[in-house]
Structure 1
Amino acid sequence: MEHQQHIANKNHHGHHDHHNHHAHMIADFKKRFWISLVITFPIIVLAPMIQNLVGFELGFKGDRSIQFILSSVIFFYGGWPFLKGMVEEIKKRSPGMMTLIALAISVAYFYSSAVVFGLNGKIFFWELASLIVIMLLGHWIEMKSVMGASNALQELAKMMPSIARRIKEDGVYEDVPIADIKSNEMILIRPGEKVPADGIVVKGESHVNESMLTGESKPVIKHKDDQVIGGSVNEHGSLKVKVKHTGEDSYLSKVIGMVKEAQETKSKTQNLADKAAAWLFYLALGAGLTTLVVWLSMGKDFDYALERMVTVMIISCPHALGLAIPLVVAISTSISAKNGLLIRNRTAFENARKITAIIFDKTGTLTKGEFGVTRYKSISNSHSDNELLQIAASIENSSEHPIAAGIVRKAKEKDLTLGAVEHFQNITGKGIKARFKDREIKIVSPGMLKELGVEAPSDAFKSDDETVVFVLIDSSLIGYIALADEIREESLVAINTLKERGIKVFMATGDNQRVAKAVSDQLSLDNFYAEVLPEDKQRIIKEHQQNGYFVAMTGDGVNDAPALAQANVGIAVGSGTDVAAETADIVLVNSNPQDITNLILFGRATYKKMMQNLWWSAGYNIVAVPLAAGILASVGILLSPAIGAVLMSLSTVIVALNAQLLKRQIKK
């Protein structure tokens, strides 16, 4: 773990710091919200405006001073993130939500404080407190639903073991931290262990699972002089490996670099609420100053004109604006999770409605990611098809090969009883043999069958995506079993639905051309890319983006991480690696490709609610601001601060109720 942290800190210190900073900010907003909420209650109870609305009186000597002290605490403590944010936005010359909130609370605080110390007017401390509390709540909700892909690099680093078994010159083994391993040194990798560094096999033979690194569904057999990749899993025999690449030069570190680069260059959709807030800021400033100037020019007292100006500027920052989007996102993410979608990026719903092309990874996404029996047939008169499967499964039950696992799984699905075997032996790279019921059973590859001088049945090879093994009893062929990385039942339905909506569907996989074409043909894809490396997948995404497509990428392995980060919408299937999920915007919790269709529908519904809430929360200013400014004062219509406060509260309630209606839309 120390080494893992060392990698993360050494290569991506800034990214790691960003993750910690984000988590700290969430905790900070939460703490400020609860403390401010507690302080707000006495301010509301002591507010004359609230007392008049509710119909009670509670006044005593020094009550305004208490309100001033409590409001000062809320303003400087609860309002600090907004005041600080205003400074940052002004420095960037792009006023937004923070500037609008800071303007409203500052006007309310300093005007009300002046009234406490002698200025003739009304105090707005309760509006100040309630605005800060609601905005803190909104930002807290928002940030919790925004936890982006900042864990991705740490998850990648975790794939590397912390200890390596180095072979010294005298042949003695010693366990050393992986950071101490150097190029050209010899290391031993035992069965079940992760490969600690890129290297070349010097001695030994084994199957190595590289699926989470390269996308190849089938564990790859490694012989002398073959390359192994750090982070892959050695499944069977022991391997002596000469180290080739370590640290920053390793394959995994290069993948980490690509993920980091893609995340840093990924365009960020500007928050719609910030756009509305920018307009409202200029509206509040302009309307407030105009109100002051107009009333003064009409001969009104400065105190009266100032009160009108303050009312306008406070009303121009609706409480509802702070909740308009966070509430919709929070409800959407909750309901979506129940429907198999885990939303990790708040803009994912909005972006999903724009998708024009989807690139699927094959292994574990369109397919199940494990070998399954597709066909099995006995050619012997003395054995039925199920007896053939039972015999093969009994033998394969002693093997750890993925093909063996597929055969055993199929036998168990058929409720077949597996028998005991004796003298089990692995025929390296060619098959296995054992004694079963006093007879020699062999399960061999097509190559081994040919070596034995036995001709394969004409119907044994039907599909390019199948691996076929043959079962022999005492050197006589009794049948064959075909296996493949099975296509998910939901994949065809999902792809047809996407194509009906005018979305182009592609596949990019680390598997070979023959297997990729077979899957593509079965699913009627628009195109496919085979034998691709991580950088190829990322390049393919970029090419489609340059051609005008809004691209979604779906995958489950480490090899998919750079492409998931590069895509406009990254979608990880839940059955894959943590790093794929951490890099993606959305995780298919149930690993169901059909959920992608739901994602697009959810995205459209969510965006619609966002727009409705923004129009309501900001749009009520069209009526409220002119009335607060006194445009109809000549006919006796003047929006008082109390009525303005009621309208603000009503706007917040409407926004909240409208967000709740999203549940019905999604259920439909």
Structure 2
Amino acid sequence: MNTLRTWGPIGLAGLLIAISFAADTPWLMIVAAAITGWPIAVSAFEALKVKMVSIDLLVVVAAVGAMIIANYWEAAAVTFLFALGKALERATLSRTRAALSELVAAAPDQATVLRDGEPVMVETWELEPGDVVLVRNGEQIPVDGRVITGQGGVDEATITGESMPAEKHDGSQVFAGTWLRSGLLRVEAERIGADSTLATIIHRVEEAQDDKAKTQTFMEKFSKYYTPGIIVGALLAGLITRDLELALTLLVIGCPGALVISIPVSIVAGIGRSAKDGILIKGGEYLESAARVDTLVVDKTGTLTSGNPVLTDVLPLAAGWDEREIVRFAASAETGSEHPLAEAIIAGAADRGVDIIHVDHADPVTGKGIRAVVSGQMVAVGTADLMDDSPDPAPLLALNERGRTAMFVGVDGRTVGVVGVADTVRPEAKRAVAALAARGIEVVMATGDAKRVAANVGAELGITQVRAELLPEDKLELVRELQSQGRTVAMLGDGVNDTPALALADVGVAMGAAGSPAAIETADIALMADRLDRLPHALDLARRTVRTMRVNITIALVTVALLVAGVFAGGVTMALGMLVHEASVLVVIAIAMLLLRPTYREEPLVRPAESRVETADPDPALA
């Protein structure tokens, strides 16, 4: 119905114009002008009611003037072409919002919920937190929640932009609007409907696409004075030359349509494309700021590194002891500890297929490590102080120099080996840092970790600017210092301690924001996937969008200038002027739509063999 209402009058007017030419009946031109001109006149009147001189008013004045001088063809052509251009503009502009439409369409309507152990189909709005939802292979997940039982591959492209299905099992987090491509899951609902991550993303994209960039705000103020200026200029030209048709033609070609649409259509397209790639940009202002970023301040733990310590090294120090036996006794003893490094050693044993022995008794020693009775033998894991035979510190120090947190392992008073635990550098981190450097963006690491640890990570990733042992207020001062040097600073972090610096930075970026509505709401840019290499793409997209805005503004201004020159040189009529004007609007939209093309190809994550760094533990052996 809306399509008929939009295109019906335009089609009828075009038909009447064709018949008028064929039958030489000018009055049909008047009818055609009235059919397409009436909605334009209504729009112009509505704008005047709020004291705004719109483009529609210029078209109405020009068409009425053409009628007065009996130039019926020009009147019909101007209104017909303007209406046709507007209809095409709306149709093509709506395509730039396709990403948002796809997100909205991704929201599921129904769910299979377990009631008294039996599956029942209900509307999603009927669900409540705590409900257990059954999701079968090929079905859409209707809620944000945790997997209770089952396993399978979930396509999370609508949320994170990831092309490959994510493996889910007991305890995994899942999101509404994603698809189960294999397996069977039982999910406990946590967030439903408007509270889900998908709904939060849709809300944020809606706001962002309507948000105005600084350039757009300036152009709107400019056009506010530009349009009345065109009317005054056309009036003066008519009075000076005593040529009413010249004045009316100037009114038509002076329409700033392409100028006004050039920026918002670029913003909508750029933000829409980023949303499809799993990147949420808060609005036009932040998109422009992101395009100017030349310095990135980045936290280390959880951002450049995974934030999860793992067992990396096992060094036998006594004859008759191999790596597996050392890991077996160390992991068995650590089952009595609650320290995070203990979990890394236990997990390392499991990864190596080493069975853990039952612990008869465990005694954690604050600041030193742990002693435990394992299968009747006294085992100690920790600093040299826990060992009875005063071991040579050289092996431990050597591991520390390589960025490991190292601990001695002793059995029945004899030091048998050393184990090393380390955080892991993200497999994509080095590639992301290199990509940022290639774009002229300097990466500055800001961490609360020790200088030796930070330097190790910096050397691993090729980061030369390393600031270590920083408190939250120090990170804030670092951002302020860089801004005082005239830099445009982006801050990338994932912790509460980064919040002050994120707020002060020109652009605050949150990584791994999927499942965290708070991060989506507060960050200027939110990378939905927990991947650092999304950031160079986000900044690239911002630069492309701003570049598109500038190209479109140039096209709009040059078109008007050439048409004005053509009018005074002769040969540019009202009809031709309106045709070129509307063509320039469509060209501007078409150029902006190029932003919708997918340009991002996700590189596979391949973990390098040597990508370990020390954890942020101030004491190298507090296990």
Distance 2:19 2:365 in 1: 87
Structure 1 contact 605–666 (Cα < 8 Å) conserved: no
> Match of 1:658?
591
What's the counterpart of residue 44 of structure 1?
A: 10
- 2:582 corresponds to: 649
Task: Name the SS of the counterpart of 2:396 in structure 1.
Answer: coil
Q: Look up the equivalent residue of 2:55 and give its one-letter code.
A: A
Structure 1 residue matching 2:409: 3-state secondary structure:
strand
Q: Which amino acid aligns with 1:105?
A: D
Q: Which residue of 1 aligns with 2:574?
A: 640
Shift of 1:601: 4.0
Deviation at 1:370, TM superposition (A): 1.7
Q: Is the 8 A contact 1:337 1:589 kept in 2?
A: no
User: Which amino acid counterpart does residue 237 of structure 2 have in structure 1?
Assistant: V
Q: Is the 8 A contact 1:360 1:553 kept in 2?
A: yes
Counterpart-to-counterpart distance in 1, 2:14 and 2:510: 54
Matching residue of 1:487:
425
Gaps of 5+ in 2: 101-210, 602-623
Matched, 1:293 2:236: yes
Compute the displacement of 1:477 (Å): 2.9
Per the alignment, residue 394 of structure 2 pairs with 458
Q: What is the SS of the residue equivalent to 2:229?
A: helix
Provide the TM-score with structure 1 as the length reference: 0.59
In the alignment, what sits opposite 1:308? 249
Quote the RMSD (CA, aligned, Å). Answer: 4.7
Task: Specify the code of the residue in structure 2 equivalent to 1:286.
Answer: G
Cα 1:69/1:432, change in 2 over 3 Å: farther
Task: Kindly provide the CA deviation profile for residues 435-480 of structure 1, in whole angstroms up to 9, marking residues without a partner as x.
Answer: 55x3446453216515x56435520122254322333334433322
Partner of residue 169, structure 1: none
Using a 3 Å threshold, how does the CA distance of structure 1 residues 418 and 48 change in structure 2: closer, same or farther? same
CA distance in 2, matches of 1:477, 1:578: 50
Do the aligned residues in 2 keep the contact of 1:439 with 1:473 (CA within 8 Å)? no
The verdict on how the C-alpha distance between 1:55 and 1:531 changes in structure 2, with shifts beyond 3 A counting, is farther
Cα deviation digits, residues 157-191 of structure 1 (max 9, x gap):
xxxxxxxxxxxxxxxxxxxxxxxxxxxxxxxxxxx
Q: Distance in 1 between matches of 2:291 and 2:35?
A: 51
Pick from 329, 336, 343 the counterpart of residue 405 of structure 1.
343
Equivalenced residue count is 480
| Distance in 2 of aligned mates of 1:660 and 1:367 | 37
What is residue 525 of structure 2 aligned with on the other side?
586
- TM alignment of 1:46-195, pairs within 5 A: 46-47=12-13, 51-52=17-18, 102-108=53-59, 122=75, 127=82, 131=86, 134=89
Deviating more after overlay: 540-549 vs 656-665:
656-665
In structure 2, how many angstroms separate the alpha carbons of the residues matched to 1:648 and 1:470?
A: 78
2:545 maps to: 606
TM-score (norm 2): 0.63
Whether 1:531 aligns to 2:464 is no
1:573 is aligned, of 481, 502, 511, to 511
What are the equivalent positions in structure 2 for 1:369-448 lying under 5 Å apart? 369-396=307-334, 400-414=338-352, 416-419=353-356, 421-423=358-360, 425=362, 427=364, 429=366, 430-432=368-370, 436=374, 438-440=375-377, 442-446=379-383
Q: Secondary structure at the match of 2:568?
A: coil
Q: CA deviation at 1:488?
A: 2.7
Distance 1:420 1:575 in 2: 40
Query: In 1, are the aligned partners of 2:256 and 2:556 still within 8 Å (CA)?
Result: no
Distance in 2 between residues matched to 1:329 and 1:104, nearest whole Å: 22
- Matched AA of 1:355: V
Aligned to 2:563: 624
Distance 1:67 1:365, change over 3 A: same
The residue type equivalent to 1:44 in the other structure is I
Note if contact 2:492-2:510 (Cα within 8 Å) is conserved in structure 1: yes
CA distance in 2, matches of 1:547, 1:53: 68
**1 CA distance for matches of 2:319 and 2:342?**
25
Aligned to 1:505: 443
Task: Check the 8 A contact 1:507/1:529 in 2, yes or no.
Answer: yes
Shift of 1:574: 1.7
CA 1:332/1:103 → structure 2, altered by over 3 Å: closer, same or farther?
Answer: closer
Cα distance in structure 2, aligned partners of 1:306 and 1:444: 92
Residue in structure 1 matching 2:296, options 355, 358, 362: 358
Q: Secondary structure at the match of 2:395?
A: coil
Return the letter of the residue paired with 2:382. S
Alpha-carbon deviation of 1:500?
Answer: 5.9
Give the deviation of 1:361 after TM superposition: 0.9
CA contact (8 A) 1:108 1:310 kept: yes
Distance 1:60 1:622 in 2: 30
Q: Distance in 1 between matches of 2:237 and 2:61?
A: 22
**Counterparts in 2 of 1:418 and 1:43: CA distance versus 1, 3 Å:** farther
**In structure 2, do the counterparts of structure 1 residues 330 and 68 end up closer, same or farther at CA, with 3 Å as the change threshold?**
closer
Amino acid at match of 1:382: G
Distance (whole Å) between structure 1 residues aligned to residue 471 and residue 45 of structure 2: 53
User: SS at 1:459's partner residue?
Assistant: helix
Deviations 1:399-458 (A, max 9, x none): 5532123223333444x143352446452535445555x3446453216515x5643552
* In 1: Cα distance, 2:234 partner to 2:15 partner: 22
Q: Partner amino acid for 1:290?
A: G
Q: CA deviation at 1:329?
A: 4.0
| Residues in 1 aligned to 2:301 and 2:500: alpha-carbon distance in whole angstroms | 16
Task: Tell me how far apart the structure 2 counterparts of residues 76 and 418 of structure 1 sit (CA, whole Å).
Answer: 83
| Per-residue deviation, residues 520-542 of structure 1 (Å, max 9, x unmatched) | 45445443333333332222111
Q: Matches of 1:76 and 1:476 in 2, distance apart?
A: 94
TM-superposed CA distance for 1:70, in Å, is: 5.0
Q: Is the 8 A contact 1:504 1:526 kept in 2?
A: no
The separation in 2 between residues aligned to 1:63 and 1:500, in whole angstroms, is: 57
Contact 2:282 2:525 (C-alpha < 8 Å) held by counterparts: yes
Q: What amino acid is aligned across from residue 612 of structure 1 in structure 2?
A: V
1:46, 1:59 within 8 Å by CA — same for their partners in 2?
A: no
Q: Retained in 2: the 8 A contact 1:64–1:116?
A: no
Structure 2 Cα separation of the partners of residues 54 and 461 of structure 1: 95
